[in-house]
Amino acid sequence: MPLDVDKVKHLAYLARISIDDESIDLYARHMDKVIEYFNILDEINSADAEPYRISKHIEEFRDDICIINNEDMLRIAKNVKERFIKAPRIV
Protein backbone atom coordinates (compact mmCIF):
# COMPACT_ATOMS: atom_id res chain seq x y z
CA MET A 1 0.00 0.00 0.00
CA PRO A 2 1.67 3.22 -1.12
CA LEU A 3 2.00 6.17 1.19
CA ASP A 4 -0.75 8.74 1.02
CA VAL A 5 -0.28 12.04 -0.78
CA ASP A 6 -0.10 14.14 2.37
CA LYS A 7 2.80 12.11 3.79
CA VAL A 8 4.72 12.34 0.53
CA LYS A 9 4.20 16.11 0.40
CA HIS A 10 5.31 16.42 4.02
CA LEU A 11 8.46 14.36 3.38
CA ALA A 12 9.21 16.45 0.31
CA TYR A 13 8.82 19.60 2.40
CA LEU A 14 11.18 18.24 5.07
CA ALA A 15 13.72 17.30 2.41
CA ARG A 16 13.33 20.73 0.80
CA ILE A 17 12.53 19.27 -2.60
CA SER A 18 9.69 20.21 -4.88
CA ILE A 19 7.52 17.45 -6.29
CA ASP A 20 4.87 18.25 -8.84
CA ASP A 21 1.39 16.76 -8.42
CA GLU A 22 1.83 14.46 -11.40
CA SER A 23 4.76 12.53 -9.89
CA ILE A 24 3.53 12.22 -6.29
CA ASP A 25 2.12 8.74 -6.98
CA LEU A 26 5.47 7.63 -8.39
CA TYR A 27 7.32 8.92 -5.33
CA ALA A 28 4.77 7.26 -3.06
CA ARG A 29 5.33 3.87 -4.72
CA HIS A 30 9.11 4.26 -4.54
CA MET A 31 9.03 5.28 -0.89
CA ASP A 32 6.77 2.34 -0.14
CA LYS A 33 9.33 -0.03 -1.68
CA VAL A 34 12.05 1.50 0.48
CA ILE A 35 9.92 1.02 3.59
CA GLU A 36 9.23 -2.60 2.60
CA TYR A 37 12.97 -3.19 2.27
CA PHE A 38 13.61 -1.74 5.72
CA ASN A 39 10.88 -3.98 7.13
CA ILE A 40 12.71 -6.98 5.66
CA LEU A 41 15.94 -5.77 7.27
CA ASP A 42 14.14 -5.43 10.62
CA GLU A 43 13.33 -9.15 10.54
CA ILE A 44 17.01 -10.15 10.36
CA ASN A 45 18.48 -11.32 13.65
CA SER A 46 21.81 -9.53 13.90
CA ALA A 47 22.49 -10.12 17.60
CA ASP A 48 25.27 -12.64 16.93
CA ALA A 49 26.77 -10.83 13.94
CA GLU A 50 30.32 -9.58 14.28
CA PRO A 51 31.02 -5.95 13.41
CA TYR A 52 32.41 -5.38 9.94
CA ARG A 53 35.98 -4.11 9.91
CA ILE A 54 37.34 -2.13 7.02
CA SER A 55 40.87 -3.10 7.85
CA LYS A 56 42.28 -6.03 9.79
CA HIS A 57 44.98 -3.73 11.12
CA ILE A 58 42.71 -0.99 12.41
CA GLU A 59 44.87 -0.27 15.46
CA GLU A 60 47.98 0.38 13.38
CA PHE A 61 47.98 4.14 13.11
CA ARG A 62 50.94 6.44 12.80
CA ASP A 63 51.74 8.92 15.53
CA ASP A 64 50.58 12.47 14.92
CA ILE A 65 53.46 14.85 14.38
CA CYS A 66 52.79 18.56 14.66
CA ILE A 67 55.07 20.66 12.45
CA ILE A 68 54.65 24.40 12.78
CA ASN A 69 55.97 26.38 9.85
CA ASN A 70 54.41 29.83 9.92
CA GLU A 71 56.97 31.36 7.57
CA ASP A 72 55.81 29.33 4.58
CA MET A 73 52.19 30.12 5.33
CA LEU A 74 52.84 33.85 5.71
CA ARG A 75 54.94 33.92 2.54
CA ILE A 76 52.13 32.63 0.31
CA ALA A 77 49.27 34.56 1.98
CA LYS A 78 47.96 37.64 0.18
CA ASN A 79 46.99 39.97 3.05
CA VAL A 80 49.61 39.77 5.78
CA LYS A 81 50.05 42.26 8.60
CA GLU A 82 52.92 41.51 10.97
CA ARG A 83 52.43 37.81 11.82
CA PHE A 84 48.70 37.68 11.05
CA ILE A 85 46.74 36.85 7.91
CA LYS A 86 43.84 39.17 7.18
CA ALA A 87 40.73 37.28 6.09
CA PRO A 88 37.48 38.65 4.69
CA ARG A 89 34.84 39.60 7.23
CA ILE A 90 32.10 37.02 7.69
CA VAL A 91 28.76 38.28 8.86
pLDDT in tens, 60-78: 677 778 777 777 778 888 8
Identify the bridge partners of residue 85 per DSSP, sorted by sequence position. Answer: 80
Q: How many CA atoms lie within 13 A of 40 on its CB side?
A: 6
Lowest mean pLDDT among 2-11, 45-54, 78-87: 45-54
User: pLDDT tens-digit profile of 12-61?
Assistant: 999 999 999 889 989 999 999 999 999 998 998 888 888 776 666 666 67
pLDDT of residue 52: 74
| Stronger pLDDT, 15 or 88, i.e. the higher one | 15
The full set of domains in the chain, from first to last, is 5-42 (1.10.20)
| Model-wide pTM > 0.75 | no
> What does each C-alpha distance from 6 to 2, 27, 33, 89 come to in angstroms?
12, 12, 17, 44
Residue 37 confidence (pLDDT): 93
